[in-house]
Structure 1
Amino acid sequence: MILLMMMICLVGISSSSSSSGGATQDQQVVDQISALPGQPPVTFSQFSGYITVNKTHGRALFYWFIEATTHSEKKPLVLWLNGGPGCSSIAYGASEEIGPFRINKTGSSLYLNKYSWNKEANILFLESPAGVGFSYTNTSSDLLDSGDERTAQDALIFMIRWISRFPQYKYRDFYISGESYAGHYVPQLAKKIHDYNKASSKPFINLKGFIVGNAVTDNYHDNIGTVTFWWSHSMISDRTYHSILSLCNFTLPNYSSSCNDAINYAINQEFGNIDQYSIYTPTCTVVSNNETQSVRLKNTLLHRRRYGYDPCTENYAEKYYNRPEVQRAMHANSTGIPYKWTACSDVLIKNWTDSQFSMLPTYRELIAAGLRIWVFSGDTDSVVPVTATRFSLNHLNLTVKTRWYPWNSGGQVGGWTEVYEGLTFATVRGAGHEVPLFQPKRGFTLFRSFLAGEELPKS
């Protein structure tokens, strides 16, 4: 399926009564979280539970909804999706990026995130598709034939039923956000909602736009841009760079053995032991049973290590969310899923069946529809690097509205940006693959500007 799958990553049973898409206030009460184990005091409300998206197959998606810290009734609704495909938005987005809490090293308690995005919006985290995190299916074959199309359709059904459960968010300004392979999920869901609204006499999902970071976008241009990043950042030799470009035909879904050999040589012999998601920061030195892994991420060229950044923060999430008292507090795993909660599902990524070759046609359609669209890139990520995104977006041939300039955050250059007719592109200086993890203040400035519909601040 298009690009070499690598390690980015950056599965249940019967449904419970909270799995239905009911529209009653009672279900909100059932889903409300009183407090999480080890949680500091907060003023905002939290909810979590299941929405059934396919009753016949028994597919139910798990969500965690966190209302804004102030004036939640006036602030927009934002859905966050992580990629993989097969990785958890609770493990990454909620717990180490944009959520209100961080997990301590023992996995026993939480502390507050100063730059949580729920200061500006009501944030909805979704574990998608079925098989990711606490989301499940009663039909085991669903885990072997997941793909882009079903993921988008199930997410649409989820949003329709979730808003029916939380009717106070009908007609509220709604945005979709995410990163990595969510470069597919986010625009694909935006198109599903856009098409659904066009066919509806009175649409209640008030989609305004989306923002996506370090996003898998176009297989051919992403791959050329990725190899260019490796070479331009001295990760590979001149010889290997030219070897990959001469041996690999990135227009094909599958590569020759000589192409694979050239890429594997670069990764195994020339990269060294670096964090491929943040090439200038330390790696996690904690020994774990999950330390090595052969899975590759869909539509990227790299092998994945199991670690995010603290650099060991992913390990803390796996400790915390496998605690029975945490699962009870979150109304998760009520049916006794016979496996541990993990940040990513190897089964899904190994068996992904359909992957759109290029998202550029979808971008063109959604730009024409007038949605607010922002794309950003942490500039120290070598998995879906800034060069990959720039090569891909350049082929939209958009008209420049505001020329390239450095934007400001906290008195420093936060990155660089260019505004086009219909799309804003921004880099985040010093950020890896998970921008809000590596540069939380700059990521928060970016998000706040996006919601306000304003260009990023100039120095």
Structure 2
Amino acid sequence: MHNKLVQLLNLLLLFSTLCNANQANYLHKLLKSRRSNSRISDSDTWSQLHEEREYSPALLAPQDGLMQADRIVELPGQPDDVDFDQYSGYVTVDPTAGRALFYYFVESPTNSSTNPLVLWLNGGPGCSSFGFGAMEELGPFRVNSDGKTLFRNNYAWNNVANVIFLESPVGVGFSYSNTSADYGSNGDSRTAVDAYTFLVNWLERFPQYKTRDFFITGESYAGHYAPQLANTILLNNKKNNTNQTVINLKGVAVCYSILFTGFFSSFFFLINSIALLLSMMAFCSTGSVNFFDPCSDTYVEYYLNTARVQNALHVKPTTWVGCKFLNWTDAQINVLPMIESLMASDISVWLYSGDIDINVPVTSTRYAINSLKLPVETPWRPWYLDNEVGGYVEGYKGLTFVTVRGAGHLVPSYQPQRALSVISSFLQGILPPSS
């Protein structure tokens, strides 16, 4: 028994070395760096930086003709039945430094002129919203095991919304800077400012979306990104005395990131890694499993490093990886004040969680919500999809908490149909169905 355990741990260490594209790994690394890096603040540094800094509008650059230039004619290996427009390219967020963020945008096959606009953010920090979110979770395509062809995701979120996938912050995926110092100075504060600058410039590039209802969604460390960006939008909307676009923010939905410390963060990381290793050992040699293929990271990395694919995406030739460990200079330890600020501004806030997610467990999110002491408007109850329990929901004054049955950390990967049902309810402003 002892020898088998040693072999398993050795395999785990090898696997952890080889498998870079894992949001749980990078969240764990951040926790370790926070304990040893004094530059990571344990106070509300992020709020102070944004409330006390002198207001200055985000720099707008001319965007004429760039929407047409960003249109993707065809992705290599895509299926024949593509019935929506897709775009990708760079938006410069700091022309002096040469800092630019990469985006991938897909419109709805139907009702694209009236459907809302949704921004999706992955976490890490340091993991790609394109490689994970678009290519493995809620985007219109998944990558086949050959690493060369795509197949349709029938439960893609662009069925109900027009969706932007943003690779943020700089250094993640295809996003880059011409100033090397930028790669060592990422953090919560600059990530929010850069994402806001991206948005106002992107809306100049796609002016037909300027007045559209706008929602921010994400998972893992996007539990920081999303509420911080949302508050940055509200701050700029309020203080805006220029012709800069007022973003029509309506809601935020995230798989809320609770930052574990000490023994518990290490314990959850170890258990998660062992579970992922066992699934890799069980399935990677035999191919796909229903909906969630644990080898998808490998397929996506191969596909996005193909020259024809990078050319179709309008990106600079580069070596793309799913996650990079970033030097994180500031992190807001408690984002609940951000959540409270959004609720006070009548922004719809949904927190969702896979009920088998051991990185962001249901229990930890409920503890966080309980600390807000919100009145309960809809008591804890099941919600349904196709005559089955899809999960559970509880409605509070200003906030909704939803669980997704049978989903792990990447909810749309594990349960794509249930995830689509949840996001559809969120966008409509109604609770998931009770029968």
Alignment of 1:27-66 (within 5 A): 27-41=66-80, 42-66=82-106
Matches within 5 A, 1:183-194: 183-194=223-234
The equivalent of 1:311 in structure 2 is 294
CA 1:166–1:99: 2 relative to 1, 3 Å: same
Q: Equivalent residue for 1:175?
A: 215
Deviation at 1:283, TM superposition (A): 3.0
Tell whether the 8 Å contact from 1:51 to 1:60 is kept in structure 2 after alignment.
Answer: yes
Matches of residues 134-283 of structure 1 in structure 2 within 5 Å?
Answer: 134-201=174-241, 203-213=245-255, 215-217=256-258, 219=259, 223=260, 250=261, 273-275=274-276, 282-283=279-280
2:173 to 122, 133, 139: 133
- Asked whether 1:392 is paired with 2:375, we answer no
Amino acid across the alignment from 1:393: I
Deviation at 1:266, TM superposition (A): 7.8
TM-score by length of 2: 0.82
Q: What is the Cα deviation at residue 204 of structure 1? A: 3.1
Identity %: 49
- Mapped to 2, the partners of 1:272 and 1:28 lie a distance apart of 41
Measured after TM superposition, the shift of residue 272 of structure 1 is 7.9
Please state whether the residue corresponding to 1:407 is helix, strand or coil. Answer: strand
Per-residue deviation at 1:271? 7.3
SS of the residue aligned with 1:74? coil
Alignment partners' CA distance in 2, 1:341 and 1:94: 15
Q: Distance in 1 between matches of 2:24 and 2:162?
A: 33
The CA deviation at 1:263 is: 6.5
Report if aligned partners of 1:212, 1:374 keep a CA contact under 8 Å in 2. yes
- What is the CA distance between 1:282 and its match in structure 2? 2.4
Using a 3 Å threshold, how does the CA distance of structure 1 residues 106 and 369 change in structure 2: closer, same or farther? same
Measured against aligned partners, the alpha-carbon deviations of 1:208-255 in whole angstroms (never above 9, x if no partner) come to 111112x214x4xxx3xxxxxxxxxxxxxxxxxxxxxxxxxx5xxxx5
Look up the SS of the partner of 1:38 in the other structure: coil
Asked whether the 8 Å contact 2:354–2:362 carries over to 1, the reply is yes
> Please, which runs of 5 or more residues in structure 1 have no aligned partner?
11-19, 224-249, 289-307
Distance 2:168 2:26 in 1: 16
1:123 counterpart SS class:
strand
Q: Runs (4+) of structure 1 moved beyond 6 Å?
A: none
Residue 321 of structure 1: aligned partner: 304
Q: Aligned partners of 2:351, 2:267: CA distance in 1, in Å?
A: 31
* Alpha-carbon distance between aligned partners in 2 of 1:9 and 1:55, rounded to the nearest angstrom: 30
* Contact 2:92 2:198 (C-alpha < 8 Å) held by counterparts: yes
Q: Distance in 1 between matches of 2:283 and 2:390?
A: 31
Alpha carbons 1:9, 1:87 under 8 Å: kept: no
User: Among 341, 353, 362, which residue is 2:320 paired with?
Assistant: 341
Distance in 2, Cα, partners of 1:71 & 1:447? 17
Q: For residues 95-148 of structure 1, what are the alpha-carbon distances to aligned partners after superposition, in whole Å with 9 as ceiling and x for unaligned?
A: 111100010001100010010100100000000000000000111121112100
The amino acid across from 1:212 in the alignment is: V
Change (3 A) 1:429 1:365: same
The answer to whether the 8 Å contact 2:25/2:269 transfers is no
**Structure 1 CA distance for aligned equivalents of residues 272 and 237 of structure 2:** 47
Residue identity matched to 2:306: R
**In structure 2, C-alpha distance between the alignment counterparts of 1:200 and 1:323, rounded to whole Å:** 43
Q: Is 1:356 aligned to residue 356 of structure 2?
A: no
The question of whether the paired residues in 2 share the 8 Å contact of 1:98 and 1:115 is answered with yes
AA aligned to 2:69 is V
Q: Is the 8 A contact 2:120 2:164 kept in 1?
A: yes
Give 5+ residue unaligned stretches, structure 2: 1-22, 29-59, 286-290
Match of 1:235 in 2: none
Which protein has greater RCO, CA pairs closer than 8 Å, 6+ apart? 1
Aligned pair partner of 1:435 in 390, 411, 414 = 411
Query: Which whole-Å CA distance do the structure 2 matches of 1:110 and 1:266 have between them?
Result: 33
1:71 counterpart residue number: 111
RMSD, aligned CA: 2.3
Number of equivalent positions: 374
Contact 1:193–1:205 under 8 Å retained in 2: yes
Structure 2 contact 283–294 (Cα < 8 Å) conserved: no
Over 3 Å counting, the alpha-carbon distance change for 1:267 and 1:70 in structure 2 is closer
- Specify whether residues 444 and 56 from structure 1 end up closer, same or farther in structure 2 by C-alpha distance, changes over 3 A only: same
